[in-house]
Amino acid sequence: MSLVCELCGKNLHDDNLFCPWCGADAPRGTRKGEPKPENITEPQFCPLCGYPCPEGSTFCTSCGHNHFKKPEDELPLYCPVCGSKNSSKAQICYQCSHSLADWFSPKGEAARRQGQTIPFVLNETMNGFTYYFTNADKISIGRSSDNDICIPCSFVSGHHMEIDMKNSKLVDLSSTNGTYINRKPEKIGKVYLNIVNEFNLAGNFTFTLVRNNAFFAIRLSAILEEDECRRNGDGNAFDDLRKSYQVAVEGNGKILIGKTNGKLAIDTRVEEIYWEIEHDQDYMYLSDPVQGVYKQLIKKQGYGLAPNWRVEN
Which pLDDT value is given to residue 10?
A: 83
Angle at 70 between CA 21 and CA 302, to 5 degrees: 30
Q: Tell me, what's the pLDDT at 235? A: 95
Element (H, E) at 172: strand 169-172
Question: Does domain 120-312 match CATH 3.30.2320.20?
Answer: no
Work out the percent of the chain whose per-residue pLDDT is above 70: 96
Q: What is the pLDDT of residues 9-29, one digit of tens each?
A: 888 888 899 999 888 999 876
Which pLDDT score, from 0 to 100, does residue 32 have?
A: 60
pLDDT at 84 > cutoff 90: yes
CB atoms within 10 A of CB 142: 22
Q: Rounded to whole angstroms, what are the CA distances from 206 to 49, 203, 304? A: 57, 8, 36
Binning pLDDT at 50, 70 and 90, where does residue 33 land? low
Give tens-digit pLDDT for 44-56: 999 999 999 998 8
Highest mean pLDDT among 115-129, 195-209, 247-261: 195-209
The pLDDT-based confidence of 73 (bands split at 50, 70, 90) is confident
- pLDDT score for 153: 97
Report the mean per-residue pLDDT for the chain: 90
> pLDDT digit string (tens) for 186-229?
999 999 999 999 999 999 999 999 888 889 899 999 999 999 99
Confidence of residue 72 (pLDDT cuts 50, 70, 90): confident
CB 175 within 8 A of CB 202: yes
pTM: 0.83
Q: How far apart are CA 161 and CA 177, in angstroms?
A: 11
Domain ranges of the chain: 1-112, 120-312
Contact status, residue 248 vs residue 136, Cβ threshold 8 Å: yes
Distance CA 59, CA 5 (A): 13
What is the three-class DSSP state of 265? strand
